[in-house]
Structure 1
Amino acid sequence: MSNEIAPSVMVADMVSASGSWDWTRLSPLLPPEILDQIATVQPLQDWLGSDTQGWRCTDTRQFTTNSAYSFLIDMDSTAPGPIWKRVWALPIPQRVKTFLQVTLHNQNLNNVERFQHHLASSTLCDICRFNMEDMNHILQHCVAARGLWVRVIHPDLLSDFMQAPLDDWMQHNIVISTTGSIHGV
């Protein structure tokens, strides 16, 4: 094995047609510890766009103090709303309240998000290995979550309960938890 890689070798040459690393080409070139590190990184995919840093709150992805101020005002305007007051009033552990806040802001790192940031090799759920792991799947549709809901939700309400959009579903369940009332889904 050579200590130097020919300069003509490009990263794209080391990616298979399926979009995964081409281990038959990489293995002879690199030591096992480097290959292990490479295995933790998803190769760039053309459909994901270029891998660049940027501020998500502007179309140009350039940070401005105005965009940061607007972002903070928007965040702050949602925080004092009734749903947030209800979340913080729930008699549950602080870590669960924090999870609910992060989830309602759609800021959880699930496999779909991790894959987009090259932190996971697949978008598939680690439990069922069948569907993409987004928050809707994690909380409502994964076999593990479904198994729980089937045991605790009345069968007459289960279908509506499972088909509600995630935001509506979460807000409805937070309202139920704070008022004790079960009306609709």
Structure 2
Amino acid sequence: MHKLAFQLVSSSTAMWATALRQKYRMLTTCPLSIARRNCSPLWHALVNTWDSFRNNIFWLVGDGHDVHLWNDTWVPNLGPLRSWLTHASSGIDHMHFADLLQADGNWNTSRLSALLDPTAIPHVLGVPPPSLDDSRDMVAWKCTPTGIFTVSSAYENLLSESWDSCDSKWTGIWSLPVAQRVRMFLWLVLRQRLLTNAERARRGMSSDPSCSCCGFFNETILHILRDCPPMRSFWQSLIPQSDHDYFFGAPLEHWIFSNIRTSRVFGRGTPPWSCFFPSFLWQVWKRRNDFVFNGECLPLPDVYRIGLVWASHFAATVPDVVMDSHAATDFIQWVAPPHDWVN
């Protein structure tokens, strides 16, 4: 009796899934986005959890017909291969598995070396290449030993991903002597919620994830704030040469926290680096948006000056922040640096 009831429920669920897929024209197994206009509350709820769902599936490659070469996770320990590409190419999105194989069906190591970061190539070579003689590609669920999706495992995964507001690291953000909007900005940065072009493309809001400034193929938060060539050049003029390796090599979260926790003083009569750094990042983000949406691009030295004034003003309101005693009357001024201070 129980077995019959389970079969009836499973059959009913499969029918609902088929009906929804046909209604919303979901033609592939696991597309990047399932967002639709004028969708039902049920489908809207699926849209809100789709990214989390995709992050927890893994493709077992068979004939390579259903797996997206760059956007799906099919290589163990790497995630989507798109994040391991070494350069942008107009033909990347039109490539298939066959383009990475030799005539004998084995991986083309020369082609892989031309496209991917060298550290990723051994992982790819560890995956058997697809073959037309193999069975169809299969999707596995990462959160269960069997690879079969269950609601309970999905719920537990969502709970594990939830934000812990009591985490001590957030105390440092909310207590910074900067404007409240700057604190909120840092929170969005660390939660990876800024609508960069890469994020907009991931959400299906745009088809172009590239940087509007330099054309780099993937405009991430770290690219905007640090790695875009104009920004990188500017940071190099501010950061001592001895700190370049860590400053430009640290991942996003470490980069942010190491800079807001330092006791370094930016210069005589100015606030500590921990005050200036977040205020400057906020102005850099505003500059980027002004360029993207209004076509205007404030010179970085001007952005620097604005960030310095903001930091000085708010640092002066916090008694625990050490400022130069003769700098109080200079908070709303800017003293020009040497003529050759930056290229």
Question: TM-score per shorter chain, which class?
Answer: 0.5 to 0.7
Q: Any idea what SS the aligned residue of 2:215 has?
A: coil
TM-score, reference length from structure 1:
0.58
Question: Among residues 171, 185, 189, which one is paired with 1:103 in the alignment?
Answer: 189
**Residues 54-89 of structure 1: CA deviation (Å, up to 9, x unaligned):** 2328649xx99x959x659932x2x23232111111
Question: Bigger radius of gyration, 1 or 2?
Answer: 2
1:121 aligns with 2:207: yes
Q: Write the letter of the residue equivalent to 2:250.
A: A
1:130 aligns with 2:123: no
How has the CA–CA distance of structure 1 residues 50 and 171 changed in structure 2, closer, same or farther, with 3 Å as cutoff? closer
Q: CA–CA distance in 1 between the matches of 2:31 and 2:273?
A: 44
Q: CA–CA distance in 1 between the matches of 2:263 and 2:185?
A: 16
Q: Any idea what SS the aligned residue of 1:121 has?
A: coil
Q: Any idea what SS the aligned residue of 1:56 has?
A: helix
Q: Any idea what SS the aligned residue of 2:256 has?
A: helix
Question: Identity of counterpart residues, as a percentage?
Answer: 27
| Equivalent runs, 1:6-155 vs 2, <5 Å | 48-49=31-32, 51-52=34-35, 53=44, 54=46, 55-56=48-49, 59=53, 67=155, 71=159, 74-75=162-163, 77=164, 79-155=165-241
Q: CA–CA distance in 1 between the matches of 2:250 and 2:256?
A: 9
How has the CA–CA distance of structure 1 residues 50 and 88 changed in structure 2, closer, same or farther, with 3 Å as cutoff? closer
Give the conservation status (yes or no) of the 8 Å contact 2:197–2:206.
yes
Give the conservation status (yes or no) of the 8 Å contact 1:83–1:174.
no
How has the CA–CA distance of structure 1 residues 134 and 103 changed in structure 2, closer, same or farther, with 3 Å as cutoff? same
Q: CA–CA distance in 1 between the matches of 2:200 and 2:234?
A: 25
* Structure 1, unaligned runs of 5 or more: 1-43
Q: CA–CA distance in 1 between the matches of 2:162 and 2:206?
A: 30
**Residues 7-41 of structure 1: CA deviation (Å, up to 9, x unaligned):** xxxxxxxxxxxxxxxxxxxxxxxxxxxxxxxxxxx
Q: Write the letter of the residue equivalent to 2:205.
A: L
How has the CA–CA distance of structure 1 residues 134 and 158 changed in structure 2, closer, same or farther, with 3 Å as cutoff? same
Ranked by relative contact order (alpha carbons within 8 Å, sequence separation 6 or more), the top structure is 1
Q: Any idea what SS the aligned residue of 1:90 has?
A: coil
How has the CA–CA distance of structure 1 residues 128 and 50 changed in structure 2, closer, same or farther, with 3 Å as cutoff? closer
Q: CA–CA distance in 2 between the matches of 1:123 and 1:100?
A: 22
How has the CA–CA distance of structure 1 residues 126 and 177 changed in structure 2, closer, same or farther, with 3 Å as cutoff? farther
Q: Write the letter of the residue equivalent to 1:94.
A: Q
Alpha-carbon offset, residue 181 of structure 1: 9.2
Q: CA–CA distance in 1 between the matches of 2:215 and 2:53?
A: 35
- RMSD of Structure 2 on Structure 1 (CA): 3.9
Give the conservation status (yes or no) of the 8 Å contact 1:90–1:177.
no
Give the conservation status (yes or no) of the 8 Å contact 1:89–1:178.
no
Alpha-carbon offset, residue 118 of structure 1: 2.8
Alpha-carbon offset, residue 119 of structure 1: 2.0
Q: Write the letter of the residue equivalent to 1:56.
A: T
How has the CA–CA distance of structure 1 residues 111 and 181 changed in structure 2, closer, same or farther, with 3 Å as cutoff? closer
* Structure 2, unaligned runs of 5 or more: 1-25, 36-43, 55-150, 266-271, 275-343
Alpha-carbon offset, residue 171 of structure 1: 1.6
**Residues 119-151 of structure 1: CA deviation (Å, up to 9, x unaligned):** 223111011112410112112211232133112
Question: Among residues 249, 253, 267, which one is paired with 1:167 in the alignment?
Answer: 253
Alpha-carbon offset, residue 102 of structure 1: 0.9
Q: Any idea what SS the aligned residue of 1:160 has?
A: helix
